[in-house]
Amino acid sequence: MLSRQSWKTQQRPGKVALGFAVLGVLGLSSYAQAQSSSLSIDSERVTYADHVAQIITDNCVVCHREGGIGPMQLTNFEQIRPWAPLISMRVANREMPPYAYDQHIGIQDLQGDWRLSDEEISTITNWVAQGAPEGDWGDRSHPVANLPNPDEWNFADQFGQPTLVLDSAPIDVPALGNDMWHRPYVQTGLNQDRCIKAIQVKPAGNAKAVVHHANSDLEVMNADGEYEDYGQLTEYAMGKWGEIMPDGVCRVLPANSRVRWDIHLFPGGVGATAPGTMIEDNVVEIGIWLHPEGYADKARFKQDLKLYRLNQGELVIPPHGTAMTQGFHSFDHPVRVDSFQPHGHLRMRAASLEIFYPATGRTEQISQISNWSATWHHSHLYEPDVAPLVPTGGVLVIKQWYDNTANNPNNPDPDFWVVEGSRTADEMTHAWLAVTHLDEDGYQEILAQREEAKQRTVAAE
């Protein structure tokens, strides 16, 4: 279990059988729809004490509490009641919890998935439609969230404290001004190659709202004592949780290396919780959990995280216009795609990942994110037993689309021409993929294992 699920207590509320689960199947696309259908179908009483408190405690309080990043607290009935209609709307539209990943399209088994189930959503919308009653607690008390400290590492529950913590050099970020870039170097201090188990980039304290992204590249010292490029260590963009590498693969952290940071800061901050004040001594930290020494000998394949570009030409989005980009990437060996994280800014609305199989001419949809928001860059980690396999010569087809009209709720100004660039007001078009590089034997073995697992399930039924 990922630690981002540790705020969901072990005991999930018994699934509430209220006889309107059919709503979820139809898909709740709008508040109005949710409201009217629930009113007409629902017959059972839904209360805060019996049904809703546990869902909110497990899924919302991590951010909506004192000192959390959410704009209001949702830790008890008195706090929640005034927000009930807005909660119903945000939940029915799948805007909260903030994890835009389309239902019913492609792979749905993700590690650290924040999405509510259809039943949880209809429980909340029905409760609000019934007037959001508190109900009777009897001799029960309000559920208490099992929360990590907001300054704690996201994987602390699972893996303890990181083996290595690398700080960027501190920098002051003014309250107002243009985008800033900060590019310090930090030594890793390793004298042998190691394999990374998990990694998290963490802007310290109130720096969260001003760090738009923080890339970290590795450089390794060569025989002449000079640093050479090695590759990406990790990537961070606002809202990202972290990366966990699947068992049995090695994402190498090389000996005699240093990190070259590329931190993009946005004075004043972006989003509802932006502080709008000067932030002194802003530090970004990388926490790295390493596998024990010698793991590299056991790990048969290497994994890497790379940026995959999408545009073949220039990206230009006219005022009140739209645009779409597409990128093709293939390999001369089989691979497994372990995670997918699209990247864009305020005009990007959606992204998708597909695999084209030249041998059959078939294209398979793997993932789609239709309600993109630049405040939440999730690295979607596929469960290892379903992570997509790409045969030699198979093609990754990555698409992103952009909306510079007034219909895009994130658009600050539809009258602007938007071109490619790294400022927040510009656009970008790439995706980050963690890929395990297999060989033919390894690929066939994984296929055989998956086939065997499928047979076992069939036999068990």
The site for ligand HEC (CB under 6 A) is made up of 56, 59-60, 62-64, 69-71, 83, 86-87, 90-91, 96-98, 116, 271-273
Contact (Cβ atoms closer than 8 angstroms) between residue 265 and residue 171? yes
CA 98 from chain center: how many Å? 9
Long-range contacts for 71-80 (Cβ within 8 Å, ≥24 apart)? 71/272, 71/273, 75/145, 76/142, 77/48, 77/53, 77/134, 77/142, 80/48, 80/56
Distance, in Å, from the CA atom of 351 to the CA atom of 369, rounded to the nearest integer, reads 5
**Measured from the CB atom, is 93 or 277 closer to ligand HEC?**
93
Number of other residues whose CB lies within 10 A of the CB of residue 40 = 10
Q: How far is the CB of 362 from ligand HEC (least distance, A)?
A: 37
**Measured from the CB atom, is 379 or 436 closer to ligand HEC?**
379
**Measured from the CB atom, is 86 or 448 closer to ligand HEC?**
86
Number of other residues whose CB lies within 10 A of the CB of residue 388 = 20
Q: How far is the CB of 65 from ligand HEC (least distance, A)?
A: 10
Distance, in Å, from the CA atom of 119 to the CA atom of 122, rounded to the nearest integer, reads 5
101: left (phi over 0), alpha (psi -120 to 50) or beta: beta
Measured CA to CA in angstroms, residue 31 lies from 87, 409, 453, 458 at distances of 10, 17, 40, 39
- Amino acid at the residue 392: T
Cα dihedral 146, 147, 152, 156, rounded to 10, equals: 30
Q: How far is the CB of 124 from ligand HEC (least distance, A)?
A: 7
Place of tokens 């010292």: 221
Q: How far is the CB of 125 from ligand HEC (least distance, A)?
A: 11
CA 54 from chain center: how many Å? 23
Close Cβ partners of 207 (under 8 Å, ≥ 6 residues apart): 173, 279, 282, 283, 284
**Measured from the CB atom, is 62 or 315 closer to ligand HEC?**
62
Distance, in Å, from the CA atom of 305 to the CA atom of 310, rounded to the nearest integer, reads 16
**Measured from the CB atom, is 240 or 264 closer to ligand HEC?**
240
Polymer length of the chain: 461
**Measured from the CB atom, is 60 or 129 closer to ligand HEC?**
60
CA 260 from chain center: how many Å? 23
Q: How far is the CB of 80 from ligand HEC (least distance, A)?
A: 8
**Measured from the CB atom, is 80 or 418 closer to ligand HEC?**
80
Q: How far is the CB of 412 from ligand HEC (least distance, A)?
A: 15
Q: How far is the CB of 366 from ligand HEC (least distance, A)?
A: 24
Contact (Cβ atoms closer than 8 angstroms) between residue 323 and residue 401? yes
Q: How far is the CB of 242 from ligand HEC (least distance, A)?
A: 13
Q: How far is the CB of 299 from ligand HEC (least distance, A)?
A: 32
**Measured from the CB atom, is 64 or 194 closer to ligand HEC?**
64
Q: How far is the CB of 173 from ligand HEC (least distance, A)?
A: 19
Q: Encoding tokens for residue 438?
A: 């297999």
**Measured from the CB atom, is 70 or 393 closer to ligand HEC?**
70
**Measured from the CB atom, is 62 or 323 closer to ligand HEC?**
62
